[in-house]
Structure 1
Amino acid sequence: MSPLNSRYSWGGDEHLVVQLDEAMSLEVNFEAMAMARLLQSQKLPGVIDVCPANASLMVRFDPDVIAPAALEDAVRQVEREVGDAPSLTLRTRIVEVPVWYDDPFTNETGARFRDRHQRPEGNDLEFAAIENGLPSVQAFIDRHSGSPWITSMVGFVAGLPFLFQMVPQERQLEVPKYLRPRTDTPALTVGYGGCFSCIYSVRGAGGYQMFGVTPVPIFDPARKLPDFADFMVFFRPGDIVKFRPIDGDEYERIKQDVEAGEFRYRQSPVSFSLHDFLAGPDAYNATLLEALHGH
């Protein structure tokens, strides 16, 4: 865990922000999630919500119920407990997300906005392959879909997950965002910016590179599908995601299942140990994928 050099600041009268580090890393993100879960488990009177982010967390509270100084003392104690733990384990789940890579919808959208892109010729996938020194689009797709990703935070727009690749840093894919944001992005686009992948929950503006689309919703205000029975947002911080490439025919079949209310995500509960992952990422990822495929 990181040393206790975090920065505590206040957002108005109702928010405490804890910045754990200036840079995103799996270790710091894991610390933010561990702190958030421990704080939530304490059910402190006056604490309304705890939101972990990439390298920070924010606590919303009622100052009429808990004094700011008392809240800060409690959160600092939580940080010490997490920092002193020899290893941390996160009870979470691994989820499969089908993706139609190099699809006509994102390609058509990307073609309309090439004047905002670093490489006007070609499409976003071709640009991503070149940026990462890979020989082909398929090689990039294989890298993008070959390893799991952890949901480092959820937000920006309703239900949008930020996904961080679970591989050693020197093997992480990196792709810059568009030079200027688009005014349109298809709903359920799988995007990429910097070191983060994401899934656009709704249609709208965006600046991430577009690699494909998924046929499955991640934000369902009507809660029509069984996977949304508890909440309209599917992803939670700490969820582990495995992308699975599909073709256009399977995309249409899954969409029909979604429209009929019959689709269920393939998922499995897992216990994720940061210590064991860091000791051997590839072997540990293989055990995670076995849990998914065996479910």
Structure 2
Amino acid sequence: MVTPRVLPFGDRALLVEVGTLAEVLDLHARLAASPPAGVVDLVPAARTVLVHLDPSALPLAAARAWIAASAQLSSVMDATDAAPVVELPVMYDGADLTEVAALLGLTADTLVARHAATEWTVAFTGFAPGFGYLVGPDWEFDVPRRANPRTRVPAGAVGLAGEFSGAYPRDTPGGWQLIGTTTAPLFDPFSDRPALLTPGTRVRFVRSRASALAAAPAFRATGALSEPEAAADPARAAAHPAGPAPAAARPAAAARPAADPARAAARPAFRVLEPGLLTTIQDQGRRGHASAGVAVSGAADRAALRTANRLVGNVETAAGIEVTMGGFRAVAETDLWFVATGAWGPVRLDDREVDPYEAHAWPAGTELHLDWFAHGIRACLAIRGGIAAPASIGSRATDTLSGLGPPPLRAGDRVHLADDAIVAIPAEHLHPWSPPDDGAIELELAPGPRAGWFAPASQATLFESVWTVSNESDRVGIRLDGPALERIDTRELPSEGMVPGALQVPPSGRPVILGPDGPVTGGYPVIAVVMDAARDALAQARPGTRLRFRHARYA
């Protein structure tokens, strides 16, 4: 194997680049065979493997040494060959089957036979949770994507694009050529192993001669992803209309009751009167599942939620409420305690104004009103006991892009209490809390893997300019207004792993900073990455906020 290039990717990741997809498969197998403590996730893509790290357990220098040593091991592809085979029943009834066969100079029956005879391997996942990009050593066809992508591809659709085959776990827009349908349980957010197709899994398509395939049960979603290439553009991806979530629950999940038993047994906490602009349930997110196409999500201002939970005696990981811009009103259905942190604005119990960052009694029947915020953009509302909601992939967080987790709160929703209080409410806290800074926020940037793709003048521009948060910003990504950054390498970049805080530069030249719900892979070059510790300050940057970047100071 050729010695891979190890590229920097902020302070919590490294990007390992090789020359071919076959080398990616080999490299991923080598790294997965012996991960030391501190490796959070391994995310293969078309030409790279992204290594997510916990630097407190595995410093970047030690991770580089481990990667170099792993690359020198004997090939472990035989371990991949010994991986279990997943058989996917498929009915070859796709709308594009005849046209694609003719394009390849084959009959439809021949194309079906070749597809079913190929033993596929999941090279990587991307653009939607559980969507695997499958490659086969005997599959020599290169199938062009549709000139006009469909606005809706149904869950279970089996398709071809380029050298890949794949199956859609959920309804989503897409441009792959559709050749069949499967009811295989591709993704179940409530399972310990949510994605059926993970990197390295071997796959066989088994032809079904049934006249029709039964529809699998669907989970509700709050957003839909775009075609894989568009997933690199957060604003475009977020603009797609909502669609149902994965249409394939595993057999055990198919019988899952509509109401979550733990939530049903929980005490009602409050009823939403007005949700404001956007109000979601959030905790500390889903770390370590990017290889299955699952973003970390969770509170945008993680420190604000941890602080709020401490102030009402909860565990720091308890779920709370994230309110964007304010306008939230709710009435308590039992006696509660609450605290509001993060964004700063009037907080009222009935007609009495109370202070943020201080625990307050919220008597039953009393209305709580978080008015429009004057400083910052996201407030964290913690309730003593925490918020009860069905956990998907170990988290109660709402992912606005993929649709994982509970949907955003609406007027009339009833929210229930969990059991996450562990200590008494602390005595009055004397910390001098202050509102988020609405002036120019300074953020430290670490190098990105594609910094060399930009002109030296662009590097200077990035750090010398004042950037403005645009109105087209959300939990998926923050668009910046400012000067265009000029690229000197204009090659098309195959999709590669992403992290929250990455500064992607689309063709416009103006950066987009990926947020907690951002895509886990993308095809725009990353010039730099916001340091992890700075992401909480970034979470409070509202449209019009000015940003200045500084070089990170770390080893």
TM-score interval, smaller chain: 0.5 to 0.7
CA distance in 2, matches of 1:62, 1:259: 32
CA distance in 2, matches of 1:154, 1:195: 14
Q: Which amino acid aligns with 2:97?
A: L
Whether the 8 Å CA contact 2:2–2:18 is kept in 1: the answer is: no
Superposed displacement of residue 199, structure 1? 0.8
Structure 1 residue corresponding to 2:157, chosen from 153, 176, 189: 189
Structure 1 residue corresponding to 2:111, chosen from 128, 140, 149: 140
Greater Rg over alpha carbons, structure: 2
CA distance in 2, matches of 1:9, 1:220: 33
State the match for 2:169 in structure 1: 201
Secondary structure of 1:89's aligned partner: helix
State the match for 1:272 in structure 2: none
Structure 1 residue corresponding to 2:197, chosen from 226, 230, 235: 235
CA distance in 1, matches of 2:77, 2:151: 44
Distance 1:61 1:260, change over 3 A: closer
Structure 1 residue corresponding to 2:87, chosen from 90, 96, 105: 96
Superposed displacement of residue 47, structure 1? 2.1
Higher share in helix: 1
TM-score with structure 2 length normalisation? 0.37
Cα offsets for 1:17-42 (capped at 9, x unmatched): 10111x323xx1331232221242xx
State the match for 1:10 in structure 2: 8
Superposed displacement of residue 55, structure 1? 3.2
Structure 1 residue corresponding to 2:21, chosen from 19, 24, 28: 24
Whether the 8 Å CA contact 2:31–2:67 is kept in 1: the answer is: no
Whether the 8 Å CA contact 1:175–1:195 is kept in 2: the answer is: yes
Distance 1:53 1:35, change over 3 A: farther
CA distance in 2, matches of 1:32, 1:260: 30
CA distance in 2, matches of 1:125, 1:249: 17
Distance 1:146 1:212, change over 3 A: same
CA distance in 2, matches of 1:86, 1:247: 37
Whether the 8 Å CA contact 1:11–1:17 is kept in 2: the answer is: yes
Q: Which amino acid aligns with 1:127?
A: E
State the match for 2:102 in structure 1: 130
- State how many pairs are aligned: 223
Distance 1:17 1:238, change over 3 A: same
TM-score with structure 1 length normalisation? 0.68
Distance 1:262 1:38, change over 3 A: closer
Whether the 8 Å CA contact 1:181–1:205 is kept in 2: the answer is: yes
CA distance in 2, matches of 1:208, 1:86: 32
Which structure 2 segments of 5+ residues have no match?
218-247, 255-555
Whether the 8 Å CA contact 1:32–1:53 is kept in 2: the answer is: no
Matched, 1:76 2:75: no
Superposed displacement of residue 86, structure 1? 8.9
Distance 1:250 1:173, change over 3 A: same
Superposed displacement of residue 131, structure 1? 2.4
Superposed displacement of residue 129, structure 1? 0.9
Matched, 1:164 2:135: yes
Which structure 1 segments of 5+ residues have no match?
108-123, 224-229, 265-295
**Identical aligned pairs, as a percentage?**
27
CA distance in 1, matches of 2:169, 2:130: 6
Distance 1:209 1:47, change over 3 A: same
CA distance in 2, matches of 1:242, 1:141: 13
CA distance in 2, matches of 1:148, 1:87: 15
Secondary structure of 1:72's aligned partner: helix
Superposed CA RMSD in Å reads 2.6
